[in-house]
Amino acid sequence: MRIVWLCHYFAPEIGAPQARLLELSRVFVEEGHSVAAVTCFPNHPTGELRPEDVGVKQRRDDLDGIAVFRCRSYVTPNRGFLKKTLGHLSFMLTGLGGLSRAAREGRPDVVIASSPTFFSVLTAWWWCRRRRVPWVFEVRDLWPAVFVDLGVLRNRLVIAALEALEMFLYRRAARVVTVTRTFADHIARRGIARERLAVVTNGVDEVRFAPGPRDDALAAREGLEGAFVVLYLGAHGISHALAAILDAARRLADLPDVRFVFVGEGAEKDALVRMAEEQGLTNVVFKGGVPKDEVVRWYRLAAVGLVPLRDVPLFDTFIPSKMFELMAAGLPVVASVRGEAREILERSGGAVVVEPEDSAAIAAAVRGLHGDAARRAALGAAGRAFVEREYTRTRLGRDYLRVLADAVAESRRA
């Protein structure tokens, strides 16, 4: 098959969506398929273009056998709802040209529009409708429901319009692929036939994220020699309840070797830094975003990995992709989540799971692991074995290919 992704975010940017799309694409290529991606120039999450991209309107790159067609868009940091919306709207327009450029190298058998947001999905629907190409709607977040639950969207007319658009797109996609079972259940309850829904969860490249010895060189570089590193690596956004992690750090100030290390960028980072300074938290360290190749080094430096989410009912449907990476790296996980993520982590045997935003329980879990090296090792080994059995990207990529083949076959029959 000739498979084309349409997605606002793509490698070499850092983040869960970028990792998912790149690693699935690698599996597709390994299985003998032609893969292209239509996307923006790398700028997430800082909103800064690389020097070689400034002033460039379009470019074709090659990344691990994937043809990447980059389109100009409005560039902004990952903060500010209106500015981010402008960025997505601009890609909705330039993505049309990107799809046409990708099609010149081979007519797509299927286009996958990966959301959020809806704007690029509209582009896929419009372009594919005119060219009679089947398209798949990949749902990584329930949009706009997540913004409604977080209080970002309040205007009832805007919400109603976006929900109508959401249903319009669900009904016109050849398949709707979600990253969690509960997302699929939610969409089915709204009237989309089960046979048009598929679940392909996030997973992990188990070879790349293999366990290894503690990275003493990184510890020396970052001034963390001898530290018991409790790591949060990822987006510092409104979804992750990182203020509760700061409160957990405050509760563990009596343990002199413990360091809570936050690695990444996001809309909430400046506020978190100020909060830590105001509270005089000397056991908290903030680092900027790191290249993807350095993520594994941070995992190998850490003693415990954190997976937090907000205490919002909708987040019971989320499965943070970082939990698979942490388990693959052999790290014991402390997760403050509910719902499907909690079920998976408890089944894995590789995590201590507490309620969302319960800073006292998070602190107690870290304290217990701090004093029990044998338990940390047992959790790490169990988590690694679990993802090797059930959540490798190769296995999930092959599942995805079967979904795409069914969509293409159905389209040809029609």
Write the pLDDT tens digit of every residue in 331-360. 999 999 999 999 999 999 999 999 999 999
Tell me what the mean pLDDT of segment 90-97 comes to: 93
Partner residues linked to 139 by β-bridges: 115, 178
pLDDT of residue 134: 97
Residue bearing tokens 């990253």: 179
Write the DSSP symbol of residue 14: -
Task: In whole angstroms, give the CA distance from residue 184 to residue 194.
Answer: 8
pLDDT of residue 96: 95
Tell me what the mean pLDDT of segment 113-140 comes to: 92
As given in the structure block, the two tokens for residue 91 are 């890609």
Chain CA centroid to CA 241, Å: 16
pTM, 2 dp: 0.84
Does residue 373 have a pLDDT over 70?
yes
pLDDT of residue 144: 63
pLDDT, greater one: 186 or 253: 253
The per-residue pLDDT of the chain, averaged, comes to: 92
Residue 156 — pLDDT band, cuts 50, 70, 90?
Answer: confident
Cα angle at 379 between 377 and 380, to 5 degrees? 65
Residue 153 — pLDDT band, cuts 50, 70, 90?
Answer: low
Task: In whole angstroms, give the CA distance from residue 289 to residue 406.
Answer: 39
Write the DSSP symbol of residue 392: B
State the Rg of the chain over Cα.
21
Does residue 398 have a pLDDT over 70?
yes
Torsion of CA 154, 185, 1, 94, to 10 degrees: 0
Partner residues linked to 61 by β-bridges: 68
Residue 236 to residues 2, 15, 45, 79, 363: CA-CA distances in angstroms? 36, 11, 10, 10, 19
Residue 147 — pLDDT band, cuts 50, 70, 90?
Answer: low
Question: pLDDT above 90 covers what percent of the chain?
Answer: 75
Cα angle at 143 between 137 and 148, to 5 degrees? 170
pLDDT of residue 331: 97
Which of 51-60, 73-82, 314-323 is the least confident region?
73-82
